[in-house]
């Protein structure tokens, strides 16, 4: 029945799969889950007609990402064992193993004339914490905060709020938010994160609509007016500093909600690649025997009513293609994003000078009113 919907995001889940999807595993599954998240960190897709398995995408912050494995490539062998004789589950099992152990992969690009290459990866525990932050010393003595958001979980917004508060206490001049290879997660977390950056009156963050032959407006989230029943003690906007977002073709779902909200409201420019294009919402419905259904029930639109799924992802303001390297090593997209933050600051300064305003601080945006109490507020976020 679910297959007849021809919706790749809807599926029937066995009792075990349903518990895992809702993050409520029974005790006997805990060890399995710990084992499941130890490996190289990439999603394996269907068998390719030319051999091997398609690589859907590397996980954000994973060993696979750090060596440059990209979505669309093919996995041919694991430790010299061809995967053509294996099922997808068997191939995934080979990728897992003890933390710190090495595994050699043979990978080939999707191009017709491509030559395969071998990569040695170290298995690690996955997933990583949702967010990490690093300070960057830029030109003119400026300090830029680089944040890498790996996924949207129930504690990701709290981590981002904490990172912004730390940045503000250090007097950072701007932020770079890296959403490359972020597959999404909890929709409401993307809404809450957007509200940490948006200081506008009655501006839309995201709109959900149901389609039954025509679009039926479901609900629109408004910055500064988030329902307290869902967003308990949200602190509101925490910074006015310039922001640049980095995206790629694997930035999906909740990542696209956050990007669309900040971009359409003029809060951030976007650097990178066109995003994945998943603009639909799924709900989980339990069945009597413990199994469940994951069904698409709505789609979401950006503040300017851009249909992410229908139009195939969000297009960046500036194109840049590179993969996130190992921790502490900047790739060319991060370097470009830092430069773009500096350009925004320079333009702001020139505009203030053009208007004949005196600059008491190198950062004109810090003149904007911001409730200091929010930086020290306690609560869910």
What phi and psi values does residue 260 have, to the nearest 5 degrees? Answer: -60, -40
Which candidate in 173, 178, 264, 340 is catalytic?
264
264 is catalytic: yes
Which candidate in 249, 278, 294, 299 is catalytic?
278
Task: Please tell me what DSSP assigns to residue 110.
Answer: S
CB 94, CB 78: distance < 8 Å: yes
Task: Please tell me what DSSP assigns to residue 364.
Answer: G
278 is catalytic: yes
Tokens representing 322? Answer: 């590179």
CB 78, CB 104: distance < 8 Å: yes
H or E element that contains 340? helix 332-354
Q: How far is CA 304 from the centre of its chain?
A: 21
Residues linked to residue 208 through DSSP beta bridges, in sequence order: 219, 300
Which candidate in 253, 268, 322, 331 is catalytic?
253
**Per residue, what are the HEC states of 246-268?**
EECCCCCCHHHHHHHHHHHCCCC
H or E element that contains 194? helix 187-197
E strands of 239-348, at which residues? 243-247, 269-272, 280-286, 292-301, 318-319
Angle at which helix 254-264 crosses helix 187-197, to 10 degrees, equals: 30
206 is catalytic: no
Rounding to the nearest 10 degrees, give the CA dihedral for residues 237, 241, 247, 252: 0
Q: Which of 247, 278, 279 is nearest to 263 (CA)?
A: 247
CB 136, CB 338: distance < 8 Å: yes
Instruction: Return the half-sphere exposure (C-beta side, CA atoms, 13 A cut-off) of residue 271.
Output: 21
Tokens representing 51? Answer: 């051999």
The pairing of beta strand 269-272 with beta strand 243-247: parallel
Active site residues: 253, 264, 278
């Amino acid at each position: 029945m679910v297959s007849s919907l021809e919706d790749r995001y809807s599926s029937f889940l066995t009792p075990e799969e349903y518990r895992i999807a809702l993050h409520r595993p029974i005790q006997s599954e805990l060890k399995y889950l710990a084992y499941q998240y130890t490996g190289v960190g990439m999603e394996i897709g269907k068998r390719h007609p030319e051999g091997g398995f398609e690589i859907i995408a590397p996980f954000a912050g994973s060993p696979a990402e750090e060596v440059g494995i990209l979505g669309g490539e093919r996995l041919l062998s694991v430790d010299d064992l061809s995967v053509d004789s294996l099922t997808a589950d068997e191939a995934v099992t080979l990728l897992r193993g003890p933390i710190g152990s090495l595994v050699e992969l043979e990978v080939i690009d999707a191009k017709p004339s491509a030559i395969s290459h071998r990569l040695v990866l170290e298995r690690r525990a996955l997933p990583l914490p949702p967010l990490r932050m690093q300070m960057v010393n830029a030109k003119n003595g400026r300090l830029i905060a680089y944040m890498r958001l790996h996924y949207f979980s129930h504690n990701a917004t709290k981590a981002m709020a904490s990172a912004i508060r730390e940045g503000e206490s250090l007097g950072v001049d701007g932020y770079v938010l890296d959403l490359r290879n972020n597959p999404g997660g909890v929709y409401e977390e993307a809404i809450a994160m957007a509200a940490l950056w948006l200081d506008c009156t009655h501006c839309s963050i995201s709109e959900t609509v149901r389609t039954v032959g025509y679009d039926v407006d479901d609900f629109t989230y408004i910055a500064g007016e988030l329902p307290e029943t869902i967003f308990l003690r949200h602190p509101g906007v925490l910074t006015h500093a310039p922001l640049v977002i980095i995206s790629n073709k694997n930035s999906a779902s909740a990542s696209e909600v956050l990007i669309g909200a900040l971009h359409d409201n003029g809060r951030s420019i976007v650097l990178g690649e066109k995003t994945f294009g998943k603009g639909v919402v799924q709900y989980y419905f339990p069945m009597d025997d413990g199994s469940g259904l994951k069904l698409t029930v709505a789609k979401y639109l950006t503040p300017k009513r851009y249909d992410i799924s229908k139009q195939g992802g969000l297009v960046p303001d500036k194109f840049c293609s590179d993969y996130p390297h190992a921790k502490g090593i900047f790739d060319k997209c991060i370097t470009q994003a830092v430069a773009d933050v500096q350009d925004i600051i320079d333009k702001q300064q020139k505009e203030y000078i053009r208007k004949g305003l005196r600059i008491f601080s190198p950062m004109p945006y810090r003149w904007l009113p911001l409730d200091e109490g929010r930086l020290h507020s306690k609560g869910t976020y």
